[in-house]
Each structure stands twice: as C-alpha cells, then as structure tokens.
Amino acid sequence: MKHKIVTLISFVLLSLVSLAWIGPAVAGNEEGPRLSFSETDYDFGILAPGDEAIHYFVFTNTGDKPLVIINVRTSCGCMASDWNKKPVGAGVKDSLKVEYNTKIKGTFSKAITVQSNALNSSVDLNIRGNVVKSK
C-alpha cells in the first residue's frame, strides 16, 4: 500500500512539473519572434533555357519580438537566395528572394531551408518547375 501511495504522489508531482514546463509551449504562449510564410511551395511551371526564374516568398513576423533570418540553405548550387539581414519587427512583412538557374534543362524540385531566431527556428520552402527547349 505504501508503495502505491509513493508511486501515485510521484506521478502527480511529475505531471504537474511537466505541465508547467510544456504547457506554455503547447498553448502557444511563448514570447518571441514567429516566422510565418504566406506560401511554402512555388511552381514555376514550364520555362525555356535562359528564362528568369525568380520568386519572392513573402513572410510575416507574427511574434512579439524582432525576427532575424540567420541563414538560408539551398539544396543545390543551381539556386541563389537573398534576404533582408536586418531585424524584422513584430507584425512586419518582408520577403525572401529565390532564383533558379534555368540553364539547367529538365524537371526540378528543390528545397530551401530558412533558419531564424524564431520559435519555429527552421522552415522549409520548395520550388519546382521544368526547363524545356521551347515553351
């Protein structure tokens, strides 16, 4: 009987500690920057070699602290990216530029990973399309 009471008390205490630690994160009450993209996928469709393939992924800092994009990694050297290196204020919109090299023929599907100081510190974006001889 004594063992069951100790186990029950341990379980209750552990549950309370867990709720205190995890509860705010689950409820979304954490303060800080939040990175929210209006879209995470973009299809360029059919392109001809040499066509301009630039897309701006629009995002908003939906948090309550300044957002800083720390790094943008592309899945290959066939893409380039550019972004505002200055902090983006709470509630402010900005964009991230992604450019694909259309000298490379064929179907493509590429990933871009955006790393920031936001609570959701890493966001994946995707582009796709097809570069053919003529449209």
Report whether 107 contacts 18 (CB < 8 A): no
| pLDDT score for 1 | 59
Q: What pLDDT score was predicted for residue 97?
A: 97
For 70-99, the pLDDT digits (tens) are: 999 999 989 999 999 999 999 999 999 999
Q: Dump pLDDT digits (tens) for 12-65.
A: 444 544 444 444 444 456 789 999 999 999 999 999 999 999 999 999 999 999
The number of beta carbons lying within 10 Å of the beta carbon of residue 20 is 9
Surface-to-core class of residue 135, CB atoms within 10 Å of its CB (0-12 exposed, 13-18 middle, 19+ buried):
exposed
